Amino acid sequence: MIVVIFALDREAAPFRRLAKRHRLPVRILVSGVGIEAAKRAMESINDAALVVSAGFCGSLNPALRIGDVAVCSFSGEAESSEPSARVATANVETRNRPHQAARAVAVAALGSAHGSEDSASPLNLVTVDRLVATPDAKRRLREQTGADIVDMEAEPIRRLCKSRGIPFLAVKAVSDTADTSLSPALVNLLSAGRVSPMRALTAALRRPAILFEFRRLAHDTSVAARRLAEHLVVIVQKSLSPV
């Protein structure tokens, strides 16, 4: 069984529909946002053919755009100077054969989805415990870690998979670019992962400009979720195909 873990329902919804349409043998979990939520999601997973941490990510690399999909499989990690940050580095050469096989599946899958096997370059991912909301903060995090993308769940899932001998991939779609700013009001709303209508209305009354941020965010996350779903289908199909 392949397990795909998302943090948010809106990340998972397009893939859930496609998985049903294609009758993919996958288990889809929605963990909630953050490191502790990701750890709880892994409590029931002691064996799997592959675990995928899937969802949105922020871009630290100015070359990445909304909807770009990054695949990371991990052979090592390096601590950054940020206390909560860990860098998971995607390397071609790894001693862990299941992870190497999983990475090869993902790279081939992304190449197939794009029409060229040379078009999918694995990227470096850093997991942190808070939203990285400003271009300056993203630039500093990239300088400190060398990472291309940032999320809030992949590293603890990777670590638990490693301890249980389960192959792991992170498949992330860019939902905000390196030059995108999120206002403090929006960060406050998004920090819990799920925004209640009442909180959103209150924020809009206090700061009407947040409505434009909501509109942009809705568009960008819709694009990212759709692209993520399309690539996950190909990755799952490739992983199920005989070698």
In the chain the domains, ranked by start, together with CATH numbers, are 2-180+225-240 (3.40.50.1580)
* pLDDT averaged per 10 residues in sequence order, the chain, 243 residues: 92 96 94 90 88 94 91 51 40 37 54 46 80 90 91 91 89 92 61 56 59 77 93 87 63
pLDDT score at 76: 37
Spatial separation of the C-alpha atoms in residues 153 and 67, rounded to whole Å: 19
What per-residue confidence (pLDDT) applies to 146? Answer: 87
* pLDDT value, residue 84: 37
The helix/strand count (H/E) of the chain reads as 8, 9
Chain position carrying tokens 């090869």 = 104
The pLDDT assigned to 51 comes to 92
pLDDT at 151: 92
198 token code pair:
């009442």
* Helix %, strand %, coil % of the chain (to 5): 45, 20, 35
Per-residue model confidence (pLDDT) at position 87:
44
Q: What is the structure's pLDDT at 98?
A: 44
What confidence score (pLDDT) does residue 229 get?
A: 95
Amino acid at 28: I
